[in-house]
Chain A
Amino acid sequence: MSHRILVIVLLAGLGFPALCQKLQTTQATKVPDYVLYDAFFFRVKWLSDLADKYSSRGKPASADYIRSLLQKKAGLTAQEDAALKSIAADCRAGDLSIVGVGRALVKAGAAANDARLQALGSQRQQLVASHVSQLQAAMGPARFQKLDSFVRVSSTVKGGTAAPAPK
C-alpha cells in the first residue's frame, strides 16, 4: 500500500483542495440486475455462513438471529427463505467455480484478451441470471416482486466500468 500513500502525499503537496465527498473514479452506471443479485446472493450466503459459525461456537440464539435476519427484513415465508438460501448457495458455488477457473487461466499465463477469460465473464452473468429465474419460479411473480423491491431498496452495491491496462 505504500505506493498509494506516496501519490497521496505528492498530490497533497500540489495544493489540491481537501475534499471529503464520497466519490467514485469508475464511470458510475446504473447497477445491472445481475450485479444487484450477485451481491444479494453473496450477502445471503455470507449470512448463512455467519450463522453456521455462531452455531459452531455454541451460540444458538445468535445463529437463529442471523439465520432469520433476511427472512424477517424481506418478509419471506419459511419456505421462501429456504428456497432463497438454497438458490443463493448454489449460485455462489458456481460463481466461485468460475472465478477459480479464471484464476487458474491467469496463473497459466492467459492474456488479457484471452477469449476464455472473456467467456468466463459472460458465464458469470448468465449464472446469476439463471438463479434469479429459479428464484422467480420458486416464489411466483407476486412474491418475487416483493423480494425484488427489497433487494433494490436494501442494496448498497456500487459499480461501474474501468479499463485496467493489460498485463
Chain B
Amino acid sequence: MRLKCLTIFFAVLAAASVPRTAHAQDFDYDSYGVYDPYSNEISGYSITVDYMGYNVDLEADSDLLDPDEETVDSSSDDEIGEAEADVYCVPEQTGTYEIYGSHWYDGDGWDWLGESYDDLDVSDIVTSVSAGSQPWYSGSQTWYSDSPDNPYSITINGLGFTDQPSLSGCSGGIDSSSWTVNYTQISGSLHVSTALSTACTLVLMVGDFAAPPISLEPGTPIVTISCPLGIPKGGSDTCSLAASPLGTQVTLLLSASTGSGSATFDDGSTSKSLTISAPTTVTIKGVDASSTADNITLAASVDGENIASTSFSVVSVSISLNASGSPAGDDAARTAYLQTVVSGGPLGPEINNSNNNTTCSIGVELAGTVSPSNYRGTITLLRNLVSGSTYFSSVLASTISPGPDNSGTSQLDTDPQSGGSNGKVYDLDAPGLSGGSLVHRARYNFQEYAALGSDPTKQVSSNFPYYAAVSCGVDGSGNPVIYSGVNGDNQAGSGTINVTWDLQ
C-alpha cells in the first residue's frame, strides 16, 4: 500500500510511452466487497478483465485495508482473459474498510492498468448474543408472557454500539424495555406483555444485524369459572366466566364425573365454544338430579387442554307432610318448636304459644327430601297461602289474601346435613288462631315448595299442596281450647279443602 502512489506515478509515465490501438474498451477492472453482520466477516474481490484478446496475462492484486489503512488480507491472481483476487477478514474494529485493487497486464513486461476501490462501512460488530445465560445462535428464542424469566434479559457483545437495538414485528408484545448501551456491549431487559393474546414474531436489530427471530407466546390463559353449588332440576342458573388475557377462546364441556345426573347449556347442548372478551356468564339447565353431590363438571379447555373446571349438583327435592306425633329428631327447628307447644300435639291439634300469643293450632312438619342426599348447600322450604278464611262460628270473619307465608328462621332447618339427616330439610309451622266465646274457625290452603338457598326463583321441587283447619273456643278461664263439631276439622293434610266454616 505504501508503494502504491509511486507505482501509479511510474505507471502513468510508462503507459504514456506505449502506443495504443483503437479499441473502444480493452480492459476493465473492479473491486467489490460485502460485510456480513451475522458472521462478522468481510469478503471481497478485485478483478481484471481483458476484452481485447486473450493473448496477454492479466494480473489482479487485491488488498483489504482496515480503518487504520493496515493491510489485513491480500491476494493476487495472474490469468489470461480474466484475473480475480479474493480477500477476506473478520473485522476487529469498526470503521471504513477498503477493498483496494491494482490491475496490470503483461504487455511489454508488466504494465499498469489502474486501480479500483470499494469502501465498506462496519458500524456495528456483533460477536455474540445471549438471552440470560443461553447462547442465542443455537436457534430462535421463545418467550412466554407467564414465564418466571419474564422480563427477559439480552446481552449483545461486539463493537461500535452507540444506539439501542430496534424492535419490530410484535406491536404491543413488549410492553416495557430498558437498555444499557456501551461501546462493546448492549444489555437489555424486555418484558413480554401479559395482555399478549396471540403468538407473534419479534425482530431485534442492531444496525444491519438482525438477531434470530424471537417468538412471543402468550402464557397459558387463566380461566376462572364460578358456578352455584346447585342447579335446580328443571330450572336454570348461571355460571360466571372470566379469562386472562381477554379474548381467550375456550371450549366448555358439561359432564357427569361420577354417578348419574345431567345438565346442559341453555341450547340443550353439553359443549359450547366462546371467546371470553369480558367477564361473562353461561346459563346451565338442570336436567337430571345428581346421584351424588358435585358430580356435574363444567370444564374449560383451550386448544384441547383443560385449564379450569368446577363442579356442582343438579338438585331436586320431594316434599312430604307430617301432621301427627313429634317432629323428626334431625329437624334442627324441633327444640324451638317444642318450646312453643303448650299442650297437645306436638304435631296435629295443639295449643301453641308463640310470642305471648296462645292459639289453637295444627302443628305441621313439612319435610324435604333432597337429591342428592349429600348436597352441601342450603335449601329452604317456602310456603304460599293459596286461600284462607276465618269465621266466627259460621259467620265469615275474614278472607285472607293469598301470598307468601314463609316461616321464620327459627322454624326452619335449611341444612340438608344437619343432625345427620343426610338430605332432609324441614319447615315446622302451627297455623291456628285464638279462641273466643264464639267459636273461631280458620281454614287454610297452602302450597309448600323448596328453593335453593332462600331464593324463591330457584325452586327445586314441585308445589306441595296441604291444608289446615282448626276451630278454637275458650274454657272457663278464657284459655283457648280446640273445639270440635265439624267433620274434618282440627287437622292438616295434603291436598286442599273448601275454606268454608263447615268445610263443605
B45 engages A11 (CB within 8 Å): no
Report A9 CB to chain B, min CB distance, Å: 9
Report B1 CB to chain A, min CB distance, Å: 11
A-B contact pairs, 14 of them (CB 8 A): A4-B104, A18-B6, A19-B6, A22-B117, A23-B11, A24-B113, A38-B49, A106-B55, A156-B32, A157-B29, A160-B25, A161-B20, A163-B26, A165-B107
- Give residues of chain B (78-134) contacting chain A, Cβ–Cβ below 8 Å: 79-82, 104-118
Most buried by A among B81, B105, B110, B210: B81
Alpha-carbon distance between A166 and B295 when the two chains are bound, in angstroms: 104
Q: Does A50 belong to the interface (CB within 8 Å)?
A: yes
Chain A residue at minimum C-beta to C-beta distance from B102: A4
List the A side residues contacting B104 at CB < 8 Å.
4
Chain B residue at minimum C-beta to C-beta distance from A102: B54
Q: Does B485 belong to the interface (CB within 8 Å)?
A: no
A29 engages B43 (CB within 8 Å): no
Most buried by A among B3, B12, B18, B38: B38
Report B224 CB to chain A, min CB distance, Å: 43
B51 engages A158 (CB within 8 Å): no
A11 interface neighbour in B10, B39, B41, B110, Cβ under 8 Å = B10
List the A side residues contacting B36 at CB < 8 Å.
54, 62, 65-66
Chain A residue at minimum C-beta to C-beta distance from B51: A121
List the B side residues contacting A103 at CB < 8 Å.
54, 79-81
Q: Does A78 belong to the interface (CB within 8 Å)?
A: no
* A118-162 near B? 1/0 per residue, CB < 8 Å: 101100110000000000000000000000000000011111111
Alpha-carbon distance between A121 and B82 when the two chains are bound, in angstroms: 12
B28 engages A38 (CB within 8 Å): yes
- Give residues of chain A (40-98) contacting chain B, Cβ–Cβ below 8 Å: 42-43, 46-47, 50, 54, 59, 61-62, 65-66, 69, 95-96, 98
B14 engages A25 (CB within 8 Å): yes
B3 engages A8 (CB within 8 Å): yes
Number of A residues whose C-beta is below 8 Å from B? 70
Alpha-carbon distance between A100 and B52 when the two chains are bound, in angstroms: 15
Chain B residue at minimum C-beta to C-beta distance from A12: B6
The residues of B with any CB-CB pair to A shorter than 8 Å are 3-16, 18-32, 34, 36-39, 41, 43, 45, 47, 49, 51-56, 76, 79-82, 104-118, 208, 210, 212
Q: Beyond A50-B43, A160-B27, A162-B113, is A61–B38 a contact (Cβ under 8 Å)? A: yes
B56 interface neighbour in A29, A42, A158, A167, Cβ under 8 Å = A167
Those 9 A-B pairs whose CB atoms lie nearest each other, nearest first? A102-B54, A25-B15, A159-B28, A164-B107, A24-B114, A99-B81, A165-B108, A157-B30, A20-B5
Alpha-carbon distance between A159 and B29 when the two chains are bound, in angstroms: 6
Alpha-carbon distance between A66 and B23 when the two chains are bound, in angstroms: 36
- Give residues of chain A (3-36) contacting chain B, Cβ–Cβ below 8 Å: 3-5, 7-8, 11-12, 16, 18-29, 31-32, 34-35
Report A56 CB to chain B, min CB distance, Å: 13
B107 engages A157 (CB within 8 Å): no
Alpha-carbon distance between A23 and B9 when the two chains are bound, in angstroms: 8
List the A side residues contacting B7 at CB < 8 Å.
4, 8
Chain A residue at minimum C-beta to C-beta distance from B137: A61
List the A side residues contacting B45 at CB < 8 Å.
46
Q: Beyond A27-B20, A54-B36, is A102–B81 a contact (Cβ under 8 Å)? A: yes
Alpha-carbon distance between A162 and B22 when the two chains are bound, in angstroms: 9
B38 interface neighbour in A3, A65, A114, Cβ under 8 Å = A65
A110 interface neighbour in B12, B55, B108, Cβ under 8 Å = B55
List the A side residues contacting B11 at CB < 8 Å.
23, 25
B26 engages A160 (CB within 8 Å): yes
B55 engages A111 (CB within 8 Å): yes
Alpha-carbon distance between A135 and B351 when the two chains are bound, in angstroms: 115
Alpha-carbon distance between A162 and B114 when the two chains are bound, in angstroms: 11
Report A110 CB to chain B, min CB distance, Å: 7
B53 engages A112 (CB within 8 Å): yes
List the A side residues contacting B6 at CB < 8 Å.
8, 11-12, 16, 18-19
Alpha-carbon distance between A143 and B162 when the two chains are bound, in angstroms: 38
Alpha-carbon distance between A22 and B117 when the two chains are bound, in angstroms: 10
Chain A residue at minimum C-beta to C-beta distance from B3: A8
List the A side residues contacting B21 at CB < 8 Å.
161, 163
Chain B residue at minimum C-beta to C-beta distance from A166: B55
B5 engages A19 (CB within 8 Å): yes
A164 engages B118 (CB within 8 Å): no
In the complex, given contacts A59-B38, A99-B81, A163-B19, what are 10 additional A-B residue pairs having Cβ atoms less than 8 angstroms apart?
Answer: A8-B7, A25-B112, A54-B39, A65-B37, A95-B82, A99-B82, A121-B52, A155-B30, A164-B55, A164-B108
Alpha-carbon distance between A9 and B41 when the two chains are bound, in angstroms: 36
A161 engages B23 (CB within 8 Å): yes
A157 engages B109 (CB within 8 Å): no
B106 engages A164 (CB within 8 Å): yes
